[in-house]
Amino acid sequence: MSKKKLLKLLSYSFLTLVIFLLPLFIRQPYILHVLIMMGVNIILASSLRFIATSGQFSLAHAGMVSIGAYASPLLVMKQGFSFWVTFPIAGATSMIIACLIGYPFARLKGIYFTMVTLFLTEFIKLIAEQWRGLTGGVYGITGIPRPNAIIIPELLNVSFSSKVDFYYLALIMVIVTLLILYAIESSRIGMTFLSIQQSDLLAESVGVNSTGFRVLAFSIGCFFAGLDGAFYSHYLSAIAPGSFGFLLSIYAFIYMVVGGRRKFSGPIIGAIILTLIPELSRGFKEYEPFVFAGILLLVILLLREGVVSLPERLNKIIKRRFSHA
Amino acid sequence: MTKYFGGLAAVNGLDFDVSRGELVGLIGPNGAGKTTVFNLITGFIWPSKGKVIFKGKDITGQKPHLIAKTGIVRTFQATTLFSHFSVLQNIVAACYLKSEVNFWGAIFHTSNSLKKEEGVLRRAFEIVRFVGLEAFKDHPTRGLPHGYKRILGIAVSLAADPQLLLLDEPLSGMNAEEVDRAVTLIRRIWERGTTILLIEHNMRAAMNLCHRIIVLEMGRKITEGTPEEVKANKEVIKAYLGTGRHDT
């Protein structure tokens, strides 16, 4: 058992090392860009799954990303704060809004919760489009400054002028996010989320405040969505409300379901695959939603537990073949 | 302990009390409002009139989780379990009240939270052994035979450490052997000092188990008394046992 654990730990650290050293071998900005977007999507899908562990499917994620994506650059450009201050503030803003809205929302269950979160996304988008004085209307914000340089004399000089610097920032963000989400999920709190998912009535009957826990899951998930948004806006240096429509929420949902929502690795795998597919088929860019929908349908029909369940399924099939022979 | 309801259509002007250390049965034909009474006591629905008093405190209109905290825990008529968890995990999850740790403690595994987790695990093992599901402790809940599922339902409620346990048809769907085992279990829970109020359709078991029986019909109490008194009551026979067969 401990040997298996050690092996797992070793393989994970090896994987991390490889990912860390990747920019030494890959210098093409395009590939780095794809990898960075992969990181953004991993956080998006994983934080969405985190909310889903408490039994609620949120379509508010695009809205929460856009809150973070507007909060950080606005504070930097209008108030002159440093990115390193506004970055966590962006997450916290999404979290506070999620917490305030979460209480009335969490009274609704199942599909009704999902519906109001969808409206929330559209509502936030409308605000971003209409509040021209602050958000720049439909044209959004352009010329968002890069994160402030980190300079430690003779040791470190990160100016965020190349994609490599952003790559490392994204990588650290992904690792920290996943570690925190995993720590919560494997703790007592995560178990309580799962029990609420399975039966909120039973959980309440043994003393669990299920509404409170659902709001907690929602707020934490939205915190990381906000962080993600802040990174996204400073990375692309321009944002517009159009990119945070409900389609983004749906995409996050598809990443999660295609990867497999029962496992922690599910949304990670899903985000990786579905970031790569559109890049590999650039010619079909305008048909992207159709491609995604097709993949989603295939997964739902053939692999209900997502791509991560593929090895397990193959194993079963092989075993069955052998036992028949 | 006094509980009092009234005014609801499904439960009409009902008034009864259960004292500490009693084992009381609540019987009545289908639709008499028995489960509604449980829902009212545990705060899943709120009475339109009347009060629920527990240990001298008015707990009417409180949320279910707070009522569970005061010591009233219920089971459900339809087998309700955390179906993706194993048997032991079900109980560990239900030990929630005994394991309330603060947010950071749970995440960073502080020594305090680890000690608590250990305590919870020990407690869950104790409960599994107590209800006799030890052999199934790592069994997935889904594939469990019905009788064991019902027992696990009771085990889950025990994990919340009830002073008053409300059992909603604990024997439903069980075969004779399972009924015997469940009856023994319920009696042992009572012997440990838990007050029990149970709804049951299995007359023989209910008469055998309970010290006192309350009979409901159309949301009203038609009589209450010892099993012998209830059995002899003409109104009860007319309303409920009418056809002459005493066991279901």
Q: What rounded mean pLDDT belongs to chain A? A: 88
Task: Say whether pLDDT at B106 is over 60.
Answer: yes
In this prediction, residues B159-176 reach a mean pLDDT of 88
Distance from CA of B65 to the nearest CA of A (A): 4
Q: Chain B: give the shortest CA distance to residue A200, in Å.
A: 9
Long-range contacts (CB closer than 8 Å, 24 or more residues apart) made by A276-279: A276/A34, A276/A38, A279/A34
- Binned at pLDDT 50, 70 and 90, residue B248 comes out as very low
Q: State residue A287's pLDDT score.
A: 80
Tell me the C-alpha distance between A132 and A139, whole Å.
9
Integer Cα distance of B205 and B208 in angstroms? 5
pLDDT in tens, A4-27: 888 888 888 888 888 888 888 888
Nearest chain A Cα to B91, which residue? A206
Average pLDDT over residues B199-204: 86
CA distance B38 to chain A (A): 11
Are A99 and A226 a contacting pair, CB within 8 Å? no
Query: Which is nearest to B152 in space by CA: B132, B138, B135, B172?
Result: B132
- pLDDT for position A268: 93
- Cβ atoms of A223 and A43 within 8 Å: the answer is no
DSSP structural state of residue B139? S
Instruction: Quote the pLDDT of residue B165.
Output: 92
Of B64, B85, B108, the CB nearest to A204: B64
Q: Is residue A125 within 8 Å of A66, Cβ to Cβ?
A: yes
Share above pLDDT 70 across residues of chain B, in percent, rounded to a whole number: 89
Record the tokens describing residue B36, joined without a space. 């509604």
| DSSP state at residue B142 | G
pLDDT for the residue numbered B78: 83
**Domains of chain A by residue range:** 28-244
Residues of chain A below pLDDT 70: 1, 155, 324-325
Q: Do A201 and B97 touch (CB under 8 A)?
A: no
Q: Residue B89 is which amino acid?
A: Q
Report the candidate in B123, B118, B196 with the shortest Cα–Cα distance to residue B154. B196
Burial label, B244 (beta-carbon count in 10 A; 0-12, 13-18, 19+)? exposed
Does residue B219 have a pLDDT over 90? no
Check CB contact under 8 Å for A206 and B69: no
Task: Strand B164-168: give its sheet, edge to edge.
Answer: B72-74, B164-168, B195-199, B23-27, B212-217, B220-225
pTM for the predicted model, two decimal places: 0.88
- Asked if A201's CB is within 8 angstroms of B80's CB, the reply is yes
Residue in chain B nearest A191 by alpha carbon: B93
Annotated domain spans of chain B? 1-71+163-248, 80-161
Selected residues 165-204 of chain A with any CB under 8 Å from a CB in chain B: 180, 183-184, 187-189, 191-192, 194-195, 198-199, 201-204
Interface residue B104 vs chain A (CB under 8 A): no
Name the residue among A184, A192, A199 with its Cβ closest to that of B96.
A192
Query: So what's the ipTM on this one?
Result: 0.84
**Which residues lie across from B199 on neighbouring strands?**
B26, B168
What is the Cα B126 distance to its own chain's centre?
A: 19
The answer to whether B42 contacts chain A (CB < 8 Å) is yes
- Mean pLDDT score of chain B: 83
Q: Supply A84's token pair.
A: 């390193």
Chain B residues with CB-CB distance to A207 below 8 A: 65, 68-69, 73, 96-97, 160
Give the closest of B76, B106, B113 to A201, CB-based: B76
User: DSSP characters for B31-76?
Assistant: TSSHHHHHHHHTTSS--SEEEEEETTEE-TT--HHHHHHHTEEE--
Compute the nearest-CA separation of A232 from chain B (Å).
28
Tell which residue, A203, A27, A225, A202, has the closest CA to residue A121.
A225
Q: Give the C-alpha separation, A269 to A308, whole Å.
A: 7
The chain A residue lying nearest B104, using CA atoms, is A184
Tell me how far CA of residue B172 lies from CA of B37, B141, B179, B190, B244, in angstroms: 18, 18, 9, 19, 21
**Angle, vertex CA B241, rays to CA B236 and CA B245, nearest 5:** 150
Taking the C-alpha atoms of residue A325 and residue A46, their distance in angstroms, rounded to an integer, is 41
B156 touches chain A (CB under 8 A): yes
Alpha-carbon span B90 to B127, nearest angstrom: 11
What's the DSSP call for residue B135? G
Among A212-216, A317-321, B101-105, B206-210, the least confident range: B101-105
Q: Please give the Cα distance from B138 to B87 (Å, whole number).
A: 6
Contact residues, chain B, for A208 at CB < 8 Å: 65, 96
SS3 string, A51-115, reads: HHCCCCCCCCHHHHHHHHHHHHHHHHHHHCCCHHHHHHHHHHHHHHHHHHHHHHHHCCCCHHHHH
Residues of A in contact with B108 (CB under 8 A): 183
Q: What's the whole-number mean pLDDT along residues B7-31? A: 80
- Domain B1-71+163-248 maps to which CATH number in 3.90.1660.10, 3.40.50.300, 3.40.190.170, 3.90.700.10? 3.40.50.300
Which among B89, B107, B113 is the nearest to A183, CB-wise? B107
Q: Are B155 and B90 in contact (CB under 8 A)?
A: yes
Q: Please tell me if residue B64 touches chain A, with a CB cutoff of 8 Å.
A: yes
Distance from CA of B138 to the nearest CA of A (A): 16
Q: What is the mean pLDDT of residues B39-50?
A: 85
A188/B99 Cβ within 8 A: yes
Give the gyration radius of chain A's Cα atoms: 21
What is the distance between the alpha carbons of residues A303 and A323, in angstroms, rounded to a whole number? Answer: 23
Q: Are B6 and B14 in contact (CB under 8 A)?
A: yes
